[in-house]
Amino acid sequence: MHTVHPLRVLIKSLLLFTIANLALAYFNPTFGGFSIFNHLVKGRVRLPAQRQLHDPFNQGILSFQDMGALFASHLIARSKPQGEYRVVLLGDSSIWGWTLQPPDILSEQINQMKLVTCAGKAVKVYDLAYPSPSYIRDLLILDQALRYQPDLVVWPLTIATLISNKSDQEIWGFQSDRVLQLVERYRLVVPRASQLHAHGFFEHTILYQRSRIKVVIADQLYGLLWAATGLDAGFPPPNPPLNDLAADSEFATFQSPAERGLLVKSFQFSALETGRSLAGNVPILFFNEPIFIANGLNSSIRYNKDYPRWAYDEYRLSMGDWMKEQQLPYEDFWNAIPPSEFTDPELHLTPQGEHLLANRLAPEIQNMACP
Residues 6+ apart with CB under 8 A from 111: 123, 124, 125
Q: C-alpha 28: how far from its chain's center?
A: 24
322-333 burial, b if ≥16 CB within 10 A, otherwise e? Answer: bbeeeeeebbbb
| Structural domain of 310 | 6-369
For residue 195, pLDDT over 50 is answered with yes
Alpha helices in the chain (DSSP H): 6-27, 67-72, 93-96, 106-111, 135-145, 166-186, 206-229, 260-266, 269-279, 309-326, 351-369
Kindly state the average pLDDT of the residues 62-85.
Answer: 87
Q: Give 84's pLDDT tier (boundaries 50, 70, 90).
A: very high
Number of domains in the chain: 1
In this structure, is residue 87 part of a structural domain?
A: yes
Kindly state the average pLDDT of the residues 211-217.
Answer: 74
* pLDDT tens digits, 101-136: 999 999 999 999 999 999 999 999 999 998 888 898
In this structure, is residue 28 part of a structural domain?
A: yes
Cα separation, 308 vs 312, in Å, equals 6
Residue 344: the pLDDT is 77
Q: State the chain's mean pLDDT as an integer.
A: 85
For residue 27, pLDDT over 60 is answered with no
In this structure, is residue 13 part of a structural domain?
A: yes
In this structure, is residue 1 part of a structural domain?
A: no
In this structure, is residue 115 part of a structural domain?
A: yes
* pLDDT tens digits, 266-298: 999 999 999 999 999 999 999 999 999 999 999
In this structure, is residue 246 part of a structural domain?
A: yes
Closest CA to 271 of 167, 345, 189, 363: 189
Q: C-alpha 241: how far from its chain's center?
A: 23
Residue 340: the pLDDT is 94
* pLDDT tens digits, 331-363: 999 999 999 999 977 889 999 999 999 999 999
For residue 60, pLDDT over 50 is answered with no
Q: Rg for the chain (alpha carbons), in Å?
A: 23
| Contact between residue 105 and residue 127 where contact means Cβ atoms under 8 Å apart | yes
In this structure, is residue 264 part of a structural domain?
A: yes
For residue 310, pLDDT over 60 is answered with yes
| Contact between residue 73 and residue 37 where contact means Cβ atoms under 8 Å apart | yes
Q: How much is the pTM? A: 0.87
Kindly state the average pLDDT of the residues 95-99.
Answer: 91
CATH of the domain at 242: 3.40.50.1110
Residue 216: the pLDDT is 79
Angle at 140 between CA 135 and CA 141, to 5 degrees: 95
In this structure, is residue 277 part of a structural domain?
A: yes
